[in-house]
């Protein structure tokens, strides 16, 4: 577990090996490794995790999420997550990222406990399913009781910058028993303002769009959503990460 309040950390959400390498070059402290960019992050492939562990030297937490959408999972989906955990543990990530809710918006204590048992001794982040729970104050206590290390949250608003008072309140409730990590809309222009909440870490994708190198493009076909531009790629941008890291380092000077 991170040493609470001793050092503010920068975590970059990455969807590719290149982004992970860029995060390391930019000075990030940790990665959240995901697949499914357009779905907000799903379980990445074993090949991607292995490549990151082999080629990148900063800790990588791996997302366990079988699909996009809500965080209410049936038993089939639970079995998929359990199988993914068993497989991905073989590549020794630095930690895991999970999140399950009940239909009424409560933390799914039983479901999350099953995932934690499968994960074992690896550190764990509870992702932004927290922002969809109906009682965040109770949820913090429940996640502490489960042994979760970190909560990723936008303060139950769309972006963290909108929710600085909530983040500050969550941090006070956590009382150095669990790390509060601000995510969603975090960037170098607002980290200092979010820092008023005294959160333990900052999470963002630092994404920049790059045009596809495809020359021939069949305009009659979509491979996925019609709303998605399939000829644009997104990668974490080194300079954005460096800027964010520089600001966070000033917060660590006491």
CATH assignment of the domain containing 121: 3.20.20.380
Nearest CA to 15 among 213, 210, 222?
210
Q: What is the DSSP letter of 185?
A: S
Answer yes or no: is pLDDT of 94 > 70: yes
The reply to whether 224 falls in a domain is no
Per the domain annotation, does 133 fall within a domain? yes
- The boundaries of the domain holding residue 25 are 9-212+229-251
Residue whose C-alpha is closest to residue 182's, from 146, 139, 142, 130: 130
pTM attached to this predicted model = 0.92
- The verdict on residue 218 lying in a domain is no
CA distances from 21 to 30, 38, 170, 211 (A): 11, 21, 32, 19
**For residue 183, what is the enclosing H or E element?**
strand 179-183
Calculate the average pLDDT of the chain. 94
Per-residue pLDDT, 49 = 98
Residue 4, in any domain of the structure: no
The answer to whether residue 223 is domain-embedded is no
What's the pLDDT band for 5 if we cut at 50, 70, 90? low
Asked whether residue 222 is domain-assigned, the answer is no
Let me know if residue 159 belongs to a domain.
Answer: yes
Count how many domains the chain has: 1
Comparison of pLDDT for 37 and 115, the residue scoring more: 115
Average pLDDT over every residue of 203-213: 88
Query: What mean pLDDT comes out for the span 195-222?
Result: 88
Lowest-confidence segment of 6-20, 198-212, 221-235 by average pLDDT: 221-235
């Amino acid at each position: 577990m991170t040493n609470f309040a001793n050092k503010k950390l920068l975590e970059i959400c990455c969807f590719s090996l290149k982004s992970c390498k860029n995060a390391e070059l930019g000075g990030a402290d940790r990665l959240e490794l995901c697949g499914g960019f357009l779905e907000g992050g799903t379980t990445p492939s074993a090949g991607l995790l292995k490549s990151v562990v082999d080629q990148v030297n900063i800790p990588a937490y791996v997302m366990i999420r079988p699909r996009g959408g809500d965080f209410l999972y049936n038993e089939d989906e639970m079995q998929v997550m359990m199988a993914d955990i068993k497989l991905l543990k073989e590549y020794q990530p630095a930690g895991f990222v999970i999140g399950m809710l009940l239909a009424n918006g409560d933390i799914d204590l039983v479901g999350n406990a099953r995932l934690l048992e499968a994960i074992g001794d690896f550190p764990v982040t509870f992702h932004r399913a927290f922002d969809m729970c109906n009682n965040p104050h109770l949820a913090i206590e429940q996640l502490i009781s489960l042994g979760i290390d970190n909560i990723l949250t936008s303060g139950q608003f769309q972006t963290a910058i909108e929710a600085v008072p909530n983040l500050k309140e969550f941090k006070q409730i956590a009382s150095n028993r669990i790390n509060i990590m601000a995510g969603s809309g975090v960037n170098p222009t607002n980290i200092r303002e979010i820092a008023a909440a005294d959160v333990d870490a900052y999470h963002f994708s630092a994404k920049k769009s790059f045009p596809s190198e495809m020359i021939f493009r069949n305009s009659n076909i979509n491979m996925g959503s019609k709303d998605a531009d399939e000829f644009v790629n997104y990668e974490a941008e080194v300079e954005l990460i460096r800027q964010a890291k520089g600001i966070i380092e000033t917060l660590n000077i006491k």
